Amino acid sequence: MSNLAFPPENISAVLSGQELADKLYPLIGKTFYLTGNPRTNGSTLRKIIATLLNDGSIKTADPVDFEIIPLKKKGVPKLLACLADSYIVTTGNSYNLQVWNRFPNTFNVLVKYKKDNAAITCNDIRLILVQIDTNKKQIKTIVITTPQYIVDKFGSFGVPTMKYQLIIIDTKRKEITRQDSKCLFYDDAENMSSHTQANSLTITDRISASPQTGKLLPLRMIKDKVIGSLLGRKLKNADIKTRGQELERLVASLLGYHVDDTLVGGYPDIPNQLLEIKVQDSPTVDLGKYSPSNPVIIDTNLNITTEDVRYLIALTSKSGIIEGLILCPGKKLGEHFTFVNGTSYKCQRSIPMNFFDSFSGKSVFNPAYPSNP
């Protein structure tokens, strides 16, 4: 069996998009159980696809015959031998396609062959979009597209969003979840403390309101208000973004904000309290485009940096139960956990869910579909 993470021996011999669709058709109707961990789901899907495709007909290049161009292989698909990446589509009105660490419809080189100077570019990588029927727990639809097809039908990919990351290894996680408090806590940084209110404070502003000196709850008070209610609580069995938003609403409500307040979606998540909120269900925590590892001023009025911003990170089980919590200034994260060197980025494109529904029960390649449905 070939290692599908290697490039194909000969690009011209790779399965066409239609041949891929035909080969994957037997997966329609097959059982697929979604866990609470999107990375686990993605890995499981790749293994299923690889098992079906890796029938002995795929020949991969010898390691001495090619060079991977991106540093640390960022953006290179794990189904490289098939020139494909796989994605899971579930529920909602639209699907947010996220392509990590490569510009999809470009001719940026991913792999360079040494013998004939041939190359694999970002534009060569097909997207295998697999829709799961979450009620029946079955594979419902398979749509395989080229990046250019996505652009032609749904518009250009958005400007890449840069992402910093934090690694919380299992031993560090267990240190927190096994202690009596189940919480790693540090009080505010000195700069933040000068703006907090030591006495009892009733929240009257909205989540989105600018922070003000004297209207910031100290971290120890935030701890008293939220920790007891969050530990042991189960978040929805959904993607990490949805669970993150659920946690934001829970924390905001516990702090005293109106439940109908609109979430901001920027940095930090609750600007009025300079509080960033994250869910951790795998070793990697996506911090977004700001990180304490790269201190920058995010509030010029109070001179607050990413090191001063308060972080609340919920350590959840695969089923979504909050098993532990981290509550501390950004600067303290680096004392216990590892910041990933450099940044990752993602290119995104929203696709209406009825696109996938219109091909239910089928496995198709670049199917006919109105450009403006």
Q: Is residue 164, in this structure, part of any structural domain at all?
A: no
For range 159-176, the mean pLDDT: 88
Given this model, what pLDDT does residue 318 score? 82
- Does position 371 have pLDDT exceeding 70, yes or no? no
- Does position 373 have pLDDT exceeding 70, yes or no? no
Query: 103 and 20, same structural domain?
Result: yes
Over residues 132-164, the pLDDT tens digits come to: 999 999 999 999 999 999 999 999 998 787 788
Q: How confident is the model at residue 65 (pLDDT cuts 50, 70, 90)?
A: very high
155: left (phi over 0), alpha (psi -120 to 50) or beta: left
Residue with tokens 């951790």: 280
DSSP states along 241-289: HHHHHHHHHHHHHHHT--TTPPP--SSSSBGGGTEEEEEESSSEEEEES
Query: 321 and 177, same structural domain?
Result: yes
Question: Alpha-carbon torsion 237, 240, 246, 247, what sign?
Answer: positive
Q: Is residue 47, in this structure, part of any structural domain at all?
A: yes
120: left (phi over 0), alpha (psi -120 to 50) or beta: beta
Q: Is residue 243, in this structure, part of any structural domain at all?
A: yes
As a whole number of angstroms, the distance between CA 209 and CA 226 comes to: 20
Average per-residue pLDDT for the chain:
92
| DSSP strand pairing (161-167 vs 338-339) | antiparallel
* C-beta of residue 240 within 8 angstroms of C-beta of residue 38: yes
Q: What percent of the chain has pLDDT over 70?
A: 98
Query: 104 and 216, same structural domain?
Result: no
In this structure, what token pair is assigned to residue 87? 């994605």
Q: How confident is the model at residue 236 (pLDDT cuts 50, 70, 90)?
A: confident
Query: 274 and 353, same structural domain?
Result: no
Query: 122 and 183, same structural domain?
Result: no
Given this model, what pLDDT does residue 202 score? 82
- Does position 122 have pLDDT exceeding 90, yes or no? yes
As a whole number of angstroms, the distance between CA 272 and CA 196 comes to: 12
Q: How confident is the model at residue 1 (pLDDT cuts 50, 70, 90)?
A: low
Q: Is residue 372, in this structure, part of any structural domain at all?
A: no
Q: Is residue 239, in this structure, part of any structural domain at all?
A: yes
Query: 316 and 176, same structural domain?
Result: yes
Query: 98 and 188, same structural domain?
Result: no
- Show the domain range for 245: 169-336
Query: 326 and 355, same structural domain?
Result: no
DSSP states along 141-173: EEEEE-HHHHHHHH-PPPPPEEEEEEE--HHHH
DSSP state at residue 326: E
For range 32-58, the mean pLDDT: 91
- Does position 341 have pLDDT exceeding 80, yes or no? no
> Which one is predicted more confidently, 345 or 273?
273
Q: Is residue 133, in this structure, part of any structural domain at all?
A: yes
> Which one is predicted more confidently, 264 or 22?
22
As a whole number of angstroms, the distance between CA 4 and CA 21 comes to: 17
For range 187-211, the mean pLDDT: 89
Over residues 294-304, the pLDDT tens digits come to: 899 999 899 99
DSSP states along 92-148: SSEEEEEEESS-TTS--EEEEETTT--EEEGGG-EEEEEEEETTTTEEEEEEEE-HH
As a whole number of angstroms, the distance between CA 174 and CA 169 comes to: 9
Given this model, what pLDDT does residue 183 score? 97
Q: Is residue 373, in this structure, part of any structural domain at all?
A: no
Q: Is residue 77, in this structure, part of any structural domain at all?
A: yes
Query: 276 and 251, same structural domain?
Result: yes
Query: 322 and 181, same structural domain?
Result: yes
Q: Describe the crossing of helices 38-53 and 17-24 by its angle, rounded to 10 degrees.
A: 100
The number of domains in the chain is 2
Query: 224 and 125, same structural domain?
Result: no
Q: How confident is the model at residue 372 (pLDDT cuts 50, 70, 90)?
A: low
Query: 329 and 186, same structural domain?
Result: yes
As a whole number of angstroms, the distance between CA 159 and CA 291 comes to: 20
This prediction has a pTM of: 0.66
- Does position 293 have pLDDT exceeding 60, yes or no? yes
- Does position 170 have pLDDT exceeding 70, yes or no? yes
